[in-house]
Structure 1
Amino acid sequence: MALYLSEFYVFDQDKPVPVIIRNYTQDDFDELIQIQSECFPPPFPSDLWWNKEQLSNHVMRFPEGAICIEVDGILAGSLTGLCVNFDYNHIEHTWEEITDHGYIKNHIPSGDTLYIVDISVRPKFRKLGLGKLMMEAMYHVVIQKKLVRLLGGGRMPGYHKVADIMTPEQYVKKLLKGDLKDPVITFLLRCGRTPIGIVENYLEDEESSNYAVLMEWKNPFNQTKGESGNNGI
C-alpha cells in the first residue's frame, strides 16, 4: 500500500499559499462531515453527507482512494474513490449501487477502474483550483496501481434550468460546444475527463433531474484493456 503525500504551493491571486494533499484519517472525520454540509446544502439530501462509519470504511478498505487537501493548515476538501470492474456495455447504475451507499464494502482490490465516490471543496476555497489538484492526485493513483481508467458519475446541476427544452444528451452536447457551462460537468472537462454516457436515476438530485454524466479518464500507460464508448453523446 502506497499512501499519498504531496506538498506544494497554490496562488491566491499573487500570494503563494502552502498546500498539502494527503490521505485522510480518523482524526479528520468531524471536519470532513462539516465540509460535506458546506458543499451540499439543501435541496441536496443531508442524509447523503458522510457519516463516520462510511469514512471508517474508506480509510480501512481503500486508504489510497481517500485523500484530502489542506490549505495553510486548514482542511479544505476531500476526494474518495473505490475500485470496481467496469463494462462499457452495461453502464447503467446508481450512485448507491456502485458505491454501496457510500460505504464501499463492494470495493474490489483487483478491479480495473477507480470510481470516484465523492469530491468536495469548501466554497471559500474554490477559486484555488483544489478540486482539479485532487483529481490529478487520483490520476497518479490510477497510474501507480496500473488501472485502466478513472470513472465517475458527474452531477449536472445546471440541467434543471433547461430541462423543459432539451434532453440531457443535448445539454451535454451544448457543454462540449461551449454554448453552456455547468458547475460540475464543465469542471470535470477541465480536469481531463471525457463524457461516455448519460445515466438515469443516478442520484436523488433535483438540480440534475436525477441524471448524471458518466465521465472517464483513461490511463495513458495502460491501453490494453477495454474500449471507449460514448453511448450517443
Structure 2
Amino acid sequence: MSYRQEYFAFQDKQPVKAVVRRYMEKDFDRLIAVQKECFPPPFPEELWWNKEQLQNHVRLFPEGALCVEINGEIAGSMTALIVDYQPGDTHSWEQITDNGYIRHHTPAGNTLYVVDISVRPSYRKLGIAKKMMQAMYETVIQLNLDRLLGGGRMPGYHVYAADMTPEDYLEQVAAGQLVDPVVTFLMRVGRLPVGVLHDYLQDEESGNCAALMEWKNPFKNS
C-alpha cells in the first residue's frame, strides 16, 4: 500500500506545502545529496547512502522508505526495516540494519526498526523529522507490528563522560535533569528510552553508545 500525505510545514509562521511519500529510484541522486549535506566531511564518504543500499530499500521494503518533499526538493528522508526483536536483545547498527543494506528484512517480524533519519540543515526548523516519525508510527499500526524501535545518538554524553556512565546520562535525560539534542527530541515525539546499547556505532560524542528508544503500538496488548 502506497503512502502519501500532503500537509503544511511552517517556516517562521509561514505555511509551506509539503508531502510525505515513499522515495523511489528517481530520487536516489537527491537522497545521496541530502546525506552529503547532513554528514559533511570529515564524516566518511563511504558511509553516505549508495545506490545499491537505496535500491534494496525500495525493493525489499518500500513501506519503510519515506521522504519529505517541499517545492520539488527532498528535504529529508527516513528508512526502516522489519526485524524480529525480543526485549533484551543487544545489537549494533551494522548488525541489525545489515550495514544499511537491509538484506535481512523480516516481513514476519514484530518490530519496525529505524535505519536512518536525515533532514537537510536548511529545513531543520520545519518539523520534518517529527512528521516522518509520525508516518512511521502509522506504518507500525497499518502493519500491525508491536513497536517502532531504534538506536538514537547521545551526542551530549561526551561532555559528561568523565563523571557518569552512559546509563546514568540517559537516566538524567529521561528525568529532565539534562537535555540531549537527539534523545530529548525522540522523547518529545513519543519515544521512550529502553536502555543503552554499547558499541552501537563509531560515534565519539556518544561514547560509541546509543539510547535504544521505543514507541509501542497503542492498539496492541502490552
TM-score, normalization: structure 2?
0.97
Q: Cα distance, 1:148 vs. partner? A: 0.3
| Residue number in structure 2 paired with 1:228 | none
Q: For residues 78 and 177 of structure 2, what CA distance do their matches in structure 1 show? A: 29
Contact in 2 for aligned 1:10/1:17 (Cα 8 Å): yes
Superposed counterparts of 1:135-150, under 5 Å: 135-150=133-148
Question: Which digits, 9 at most, give the CA deviation of each residue in 1:167-186, with x for residues without a partner?
Answer: 11111122122222211111
Which letter does structure 2 place at the counterpart of 1:62? F
Contact in 2 for aligned 1:78/1:119 (Cα 8 Å): yes
| Residue number in structure 1 paired with 2:74 | 75
Which letter does structure 2 place at the counterpart of 1:81? A
| Residue number in structure 2 paired with 1:12 | 11
| Residue number in structure 2 paired with 1:230 | none
Deviates more, 1:27-36 or 1:169-178: 169-178
Q: For residues 160 and 42 of structure 1, what CA distance do their matches in structure 2 show? A: 20
Q: For residues 28 and 156 of structure 2, what CA distance do their matches in structure 1 show? A: 30
Q: For residues 4 and 53 of structure 1, what CA distance do their matches in structure 2 show? A: 23
Which letter does structure 1 place at the counterpart of 2:4? L
Superposed counterparts of 1:180-191, under 5 Å: 180-191=178-189
Q: Cα distance, 1:146 vs. partner? A: 0.3
Structure 2 stretches of 5 or more lacking a match?
none
Which letter does structure 2 place at the counterpart of 1:75? I
Residue 128 of structure 1 aligns to a residue in which SS? coil
Which letter does structure 1 place at the counterpart of 2:28? F
Q: Cα distance, 1:95 vs. partner? A: 0.3
Superposed counterparts of 1:15-30, under 5 Å: 15-30=14-29
Q: Cα distance, 1:17 vs. partner? A: 0.3
Q: For residues 140 and 157 of structure 1, what CA distance do their matches in structure 2 show? A: 28
Deviates more, 1:182-191 or 1:209-218: 182-191
RMSD: 1.1
Which letter does structure 1 place at the counterpart of 2:86? D
Contact in 2 for aligned 1:37/1:49 (Cα 8 Å): yes
Q: For residues 38 and 208 of structure 1, what CA distance do their matches in structure 2 show? A: 21
Residue 208 of structure 2 aligns to a residue in which SS? coil
Q: Cα distance, 1:73 vs. partner? A: 2.2
Q: For residues 3 and 144 of structure 2, what CA distance do their matches in structure 1 show? A: 16
- The partner residue of 1:177 within 175, 178, 189 is 175
Which letter does structure 2 place at the counterpart of 1:57? N
Aligned residues: 222
% identity of equivalent residues: 58
Structure 1 stretches of 5 or more lacking a match?
225-233
| Residue number in structure 2 paired with 1:112 | 110
| Residue number in structure 1 paired with 2:163 | 165
Alignment of 1:99 with 2:93, yes or no, is no
| Residue number in structure 1 paired with 2:203 | 205
TM-score, normalization: structure 1?
0.92
| Residue number in structure 2 paired with 1:229 | none
| Residue number in structure 2 paired with 1:196 | 194
| Residue number in structure 1 paired with 2:54 | 55
Pair 18,144 (structure 1): closer, same or farther in 2 beyond 3 Å: same
Contact in 2 for aligned 1:43/1:206 (Cα 8 Å): no
Q: For residues 6 and 28 of structure 1, what CA distance do their matches in structure 2 show? A: 17
Q: For residues 132 and 42 of structure 2, what CA distance do their matches in structure 1 show? A: 26
Question: Which digits, 9 at most, give the CA deviation of each residue in 1:31-65, with x for residues without a partner?
Answer: 11111121123454332211000000000000000
Contact in 1 for aligned 2:84/2:109 (Cα 8 Å): yes
Which letter does structure 1 place at the counterpart of 2:215? W
Contact in 1 for aligned 2:197/2:212 (Cα 8 Å): yes
Q: For residues 56 and 50 of structure 1, what CA distance do their matches in structure 2 show? A: 10
